[in-house]
Amino acid sequence: VDHESLGRTLVFIGFMGVGKTTVGELVADRLDVPFKDSDEEIVKAFDEMTIPEIFHTYGEQAFRNKEKETILQLIDAEKQVLSLGGGAFMQEAVRQKCLEEAVVIFLDMTFAAWKERFPELISSRPLLQTKSMAEIETLFAERRSLYDAHHIRVLTDEITPEEAAEQIFQSLE
């Protein structure tokens, strides 16, 4: 991969638990650029509270405000790979900035495949804790329509994170 032609930050979007962080780290390693995760930066900003603690103590809106601020700042920093929390793209300002200034990579998955991951995700994702599976499926579909605005899409149902990273390199070339 020609580093010079990839002058932009790469941003990973997609639903909770699809592998944005895992694939993002692989891509960052191979490009030899820093990797950042918006959730991790938010946790640091809240003195290492967990995300469920932030939601329960300050509410979702406080989380979203910090999320927006964090992402807008990170995009303006050096070239990097940035993995976004699954809800970040709901915010218009985040969406616009990422689409204008970065390469947006959507890690897609069918709901059937995603459901198999659900048991591993619930304890760390407050939004999943208060919803029925039918409500989660609705959220999945609503989010998917926002993720439709992207530059590169990879369907991750039947491939490993390494294979997803490989497909991304091929699209970038």
- The count of residues interacting with ligand S3P (CB under 6 A) is 11
Half-sphere exposure of 122 (CA within 13 A, CB side): 10
24 near ligand S3P (CB under 6 A): no
Q: Please say which residue, 123 or 170, places its beta carbon nearer to ligand S3P.
A: 123
Quote helix, strand, coil % in the chain, to nearest 5. 60, 15, 30
Strand partners, 35: 81
- 51 lines the binding site for ligand S3P (CB under 6 A): yes
Query: Could you say which of 105, 127, 136, 154 contacts ligand S3P (CB under 6 A)?
Result: 127
Residue 17 is a binding residue for ligand S3P (CB under 6 A): yes
Is residue 125 at the binding interface for ligand S3P, with CB under 6 A as the rule? yes
Strand segments, DSSP code E, in the chain are 9-13, 35-37, 81-83, 102-108, 152-155
Pick between residue 127 and residue 168 the one whose CB is nearest to ligand S3P.
Answer: 127
Cβ neighbours of residue 153 under 8 Å, at least 6 residues apart? 105, 106, 108
Surface-to-core class of residue 112, CB atoms within 10 Å of its CB (0-12 exposed, 13-18 middle, 19+ buried): exposed
Largest Cα separation within the chain, whole Å, is 47
Residue 39 within binding range of ligand S3P, rule CB under 6 A: yes
Q: Is 41 in the site for ligand S3P (CB under 6 A)?
A: no
- Closer residue to ligand S3P in complex, CB, 17/102: 17
Q: In a 10 Å sphere around its CB, with 0-12 CB exposed, 13-18 middle and 19+ buried, how is residue 49 labelled?
A: middle
Task: Please give the structure tokens belonging to residue 59.
Answer: 């509410």
Nearer Cβ to ligand S3P (6/58) = 58
The footprint of ligand S3P on residues 75-114 (CB under 6 A) is 85-87
What residues line the site for ligand S3P (CB under 6 A)?
Answer: 16-17, 20, 39, 51, 85-87, 125-127
Binding-site residues: 17-22, 39, 64, 86, 125, 143
Binding-site residues for ATP: 17-22, 125
